[in-house]
Amino acid sequence: MLLKALVFASALPSLQLAGMMDAAESSFVVDAELGLVLLSKDSNSERQVASLTKVATAVVALKWLHVNEVSWDAEDRFRETVLLLNSGWEERSRLESAGDPVTNRRLLSPAKYVSMRCMRIGLLNSGGDCPGLNAVTHGVVGAATQLGWEVYGFKQGYEGLLSPGDYKVLQVEKTEGILKVGGTILGSSNKGHFVSKVGAGGVRAIPTKLMDEAVATMKGLGVEALICVGGDGSLSTAQQLYEHGFPVVGVPKTIDNDLAATAMTFGFDSACHSVVDALDRLQTTAESHKRVMVLEVMGRHAGWIALYGGMGGGACSILIPEIPFDLNNVAKTIRHRDKNGFYHSLVVVAEGAAPIGGTQLYEETKEDGESRLGGIGEQVAKQLSALTGKETRCTTLGHLQRGGSPTALDRVLGTRFGVKAVKLIEEKRFGRMVSYQQYHVGSVSIKEAVRELNLVDPEGEVVEAAKSVGISFGD
């Protein structure tokens, strides 16, 4: 028998047609295998069947309800299903356990309560870009679509929240294939109206007027929650937005791997691979000319990129912010290599490294944003040349560490982070940041996450392992 879904709804007084016309007030679920349309009486109802093979968005389901036809063996099949849905949990279990001849029993088992409310969420990337951002977008859009939600991607970070809103609707078909793409399809910004980190780690309050405008933009677009992907500065802004009363979930993003609340962030592995690749290339030219090659890498106040990249790339010396150095000790290591027939050396210097009793070098200091470190590599190269008498060259890797395709690890981690962010919204756990600890993706409060940096332990196992194979830290 062919019956229009609309006829089904009108035949049941408990299901109001008025609710069907407003996606924000009703929940729609479509089972693709049986062709069965289930809808809740109102948005507060969570009585839906869990064993669904496909979930459609409210908009799609609404069109389907009014246009498409459904093929049934009998109209009673639909009536029996609604009877079970509208009956209480105990009644539904009794009917199943009593062997009631319901033709679509397999749809109702296992019987679980699942909320399928239609929702619209926002997503933005803020701060410096890095490989893996598109993997997060892939995870968010995929998980949200499975719930029947819509995702609005705001462009150029928080700037996209300014009235009237600069955004694009993100759908699965538009995000297909972006896993391997570096950068971000949404764009990002570490400047503008919403910068909360100033100077060397200071935090400023975002003006209330800007917060009001951002919230008004999202509410005007029907966005009910926002996923903010960024580092400690961007997440500081996210925390202020949450404290301003808007539902926010954070996703940690930094190649520096310097957030204490998560063991690893996506982008870090890709950055380390860039360092290793650079060292592999520098090693061949260093060996040809019996030179010392100094490579300056990013990391700000944390030495993780230098440490992991340097170890992976065969550096003889690694200088990091957490261990003040004496270049006389580095020169001693280089002379020892020469004595043993290794006439070339690779030295990795983190941009935030400083000599014993010295200070970090800045290429640019700013009052309205975070100051930019740099220049220590050239200084180290000149002094090592004078101390060893060897020809020394410096290369600053710079933004090559942020570009290119993400590694497999960053693609998977970014996707998992995106999915978890959607789960946190579904569970209404706002003010939380996705966190990776002991191979498990969980969450912590944003406020706690941005409070402390994740720095290299000078006495830790990784540093100890490096020293055990002869790597000098200049201490």
Residue 156, SS3? coil
Residue 346, SS3? strand
In what side-by-side order are the strands of the sheet with 440-445?
167-170, 150-154, 120-125, 225-230, 248-252, 432-437, 440-445
**β-strand pairing of 28-31 with 432-437:** unpaired
Q: How far apart are CA 393 and CA 295, in angstroms?
A: 9
404 and 182 Cβ atoms separated by less than 8 Å: yes
Which residue in this structure is represented by tokens 């749809």? 107
Which residue in this structure is represented by tokens 């220049």? 375
Residue 251, SS3? strand
158 and 237 Cβ atoms separated by less than 8 Å: yes
Query: Tokens at residue 348, please?
Result: 């990795």
Q: Which of 31, 129, 232, 256 is catalytic?
A: 256
Q: Which residues contact 226 (CB under 8 A, 6 or more apart)?
A: 121, 122, 123, 124, 218, 238, 241, 246, 247, 248, 249
Q: Is 256 a catalytic residue?
A: yes
- H/E element, 445: strand 440-445
- H/E element, 273: helix 268-289
387 and 327 Cβ atoms separated by less than 8 Å: yes
Q: What is the signed CA dihedral for 339, 341, 343, 345, rounded to 10 degrees?
A: -80
**β-strand pairing of 440-445 with 432-437:** antiparallel
**β-strand pairing of 248-252 with 202-203:** unpaired
Q: How far apart are CA 275 and CA 350, in angstroms?
A: 11
Which residue in this structure is represented by tokens 């030219």? 285
Which residue in this structure is represented by tokens 């309050």? 205
Q: What are the beta bridge partners of residue 350?
A: 297
Q: How far apart are CA 86 and CA 271, in angstroms?
A: 54
Pick the closest to residue 30 from 59, 7, 1, 73 (CA basis): 59
Residue 254, SS3? coil
- Residue type for 35, please? G
CA distance to 47, 177, 335, 467, 474, per residue, from 355 (Å): 64, 46, 20, 19, 9
User: Which active-site residues does the annotation give?
Assistant: 256
